[in-house]
Homo-oligomer: A and B are copies of this chain.
Amino acid sequence: MSSSFFPPQRTLMGPGPSDVSSRVLGALARPTIGHLDPLFVQLMDEVKALLQFAFQTNNALTLPVSAPGSAGMEACFVNLVSPGDKVIVCQNGVFGGRMKENIERCGGTAVLVEDSWGEPVDVSKVEAAFDDHPDAAILAFVHAETSTGVFSDAAALCALAARHGALSIVDAVTSLAGIEVLVDEWGVDAMYSGTQKCLSCVPGLSPVTFSSRAEERIKHRKHKVQSWFLDMQLVMGYWGGDNKRAYHHTAPVNNLYALHEALLIVKEEGLAETQSRHLTNHRALVAGLEAMGLSMAVAANCRLPQLNSVVIPEGVNDAALRAALLNEFDLEIGAGLGGLAGKTWRIGLMGFASNERNVMFCLSAMETVLQRQEAPIKTGKAIQAARLVFDDA
């Protein structure tokens, strides 16, 4: 029969979840209180304000959906897409495809703009799609593609949507708190994220924010939102700004303690400082990998510092390498997803896990295992190359 589960202490350098600090785990384990307790309602207000800070927005409709990022994605689509709506959706990785699924399940028509996996969204193609489909109601795209490690130009894409009178829905699951995210300045209409990436909180919640334009669209819907659980008009009765909180569903109380603590940590460090830390650790990792003779899978001008796609060299056994890192070093790095399975590794440097120790640990562990596999790498150079980046920073 089963007994209590004691997980090992892994170092999480995959595509998420990322390492969770003891401060956040400590908050998670505090005594549960009621979801309508006045003290909990105060905490909800603080979480909301901290999320507004993280998203850089004044949007009133800013809250964590009580479920993982995929549900946050669905919350944006089910609330904004009505049957018959035309939505331009950009696909340059796994998550654009998931957006298309969501649009179609809402009864919308998806106009697909495709770019290669590993490339950013091509703004001129989206412009052309708007020319072909001037009646498009929404533009949807992924800011930071977790499957490839690429970021796209969210500011330009949101401006384009606005010029064509369309709302924008933006996936910021992997970008929030890792690279610049400016909801109000960019004019984003709906954005969703996850807690288990650069916020370094446990997985299970999805921060979302909706502009006042998006809120208007939701209020004037002719069809009820197909999901009761994700219907923002109902959710707002509980998360809304007034003091009267209507019961909608039981909030995941302890997860909200943890998210509150994780957001405090981001606020204490500062967004600019957080981003600069992510950038330095990324540069050091890349310097080390390249000194080893490995190649990055993504061009330098659109690489995510928090998620590093590395080309798997010929002859290297992908699964055996990842298993060795996990079993001998308690180190998790990510496999390629979808069409990139077996072709790339995804090395995360997200949030709390984005630190010098992890960069050095990952480089030395990978060198050890690659060397053992007799992979065509240069040895003895990686740590020094990374060291130089840290010394310069």
| Chain B CB within 8 A of A186 CB | no
| Chain B CB within 8 A of A271 CB | no
Q: Would you give 16 A-B contacts (Cβ < 8 Å), ordered by A?
A: A7-B33, A8-B31, A8-B39, A12-B34, A14-B34, A16-B250, A17-B34, A17-B250, A20-B254, A28-B28, A37-B332, A66-B71, A71-B71, A74-B227, A203-B250, A203-B253
Stretch from A98-106, A293-301, A308-316, A363-371 contacting the other chain: A98-106
Per the bound structure, the CA–CA distance linking A38 and B37 in Å amounts to: 39
Residue-wise interface mask of A (243-265) relative to B, using a CB-CB cutoff of 8 A (1 in contact, 0 not):
00001111111110100110010
Q: Are B228 and A226 in contact (CB under 8 A)?
A: no
Residues of B near A104 (CB, < 8 A) are 224
Q: Are B32 and A202 in contact (CB under 8 A)?
A: yes
Q: A9-B31, A46-B2 are in contact. Are A68 and B249 (CB under 8 A)?
A: yes
| Chain B CB within 8 A of A133 CB | no
Q: Quick one: which of B4, B29, B34, B247 contacts A29, CB cutoff 8 A?
A: B29
Per the bound structure, the CA–CA distance linking A251 and B16 in Å amounts to: 11
Q: A7-B33, A17-B35, A31-B7 are in contact. Are A50 and B229 (CB under 8 A)?
A: no
Per the bound structure, the CA–CA distance linking A40 and B248 in Å amounts to: 31
Best-buried of A5, A74, A101, A194 by chain B (most CB within 10 Å): A5
| Chain B CB within 8 A of A237 CB | no
Q: Are A31 and B37 in contact (CB under 8 A)?
A: no
Residues of B near A196 (CB, < 8 A) are 32, 250
Q: From residue A306, how far is it (CB to closest CB) to chain B in Å?
A: 15
Which A33-84 residues have C-beta < 8 A from chain B? 33-35, 37-40, 43, 46, 49-50, 66-71, 73-74
Residue-wise interface mask of A (134-177) relative to B, using a CB-CB cutoff of 8 A (1 in contact, 0 not):
00000000000000000000000000000000000000000000
Q: A5-B257, A101-B228, A264-B2 are in contact. Are A68 and B250 (CB under 8 A)?
A: yes
| Chain B CB within 8 A of A30 CB | yes
Residue of B nearest to A202 (CB): B254
Per the bound structure, the CA–CA distance linking A98 and B10 in Å amounts to: 42
Which A280-298 residues have C-beta < 8 A from chain B? none
Residues of B near A14 (CB, < 8 A) are 34
Quick one: copies of this chain in the complex? 2
Q: From residue A310, how far is it (CB to closest CB) to chain B in Å?
A: 18
Q: From residue A278, how far is it (CB to closest CB) to chain B in Å?
A: 19
Q: Are B29 and A10 in contact (CB under 8 A)?
A: no
Best-buried of A32, A101, A337 by chain B (most CB within 10 Å): A32
Q: From residue A24, how far is it (CB to closest CB) to chain B in Å?
A: 9
| Chain B CB within 8 A of A182 CB | no
| Chain B CB within 8 A of A321 CB | no
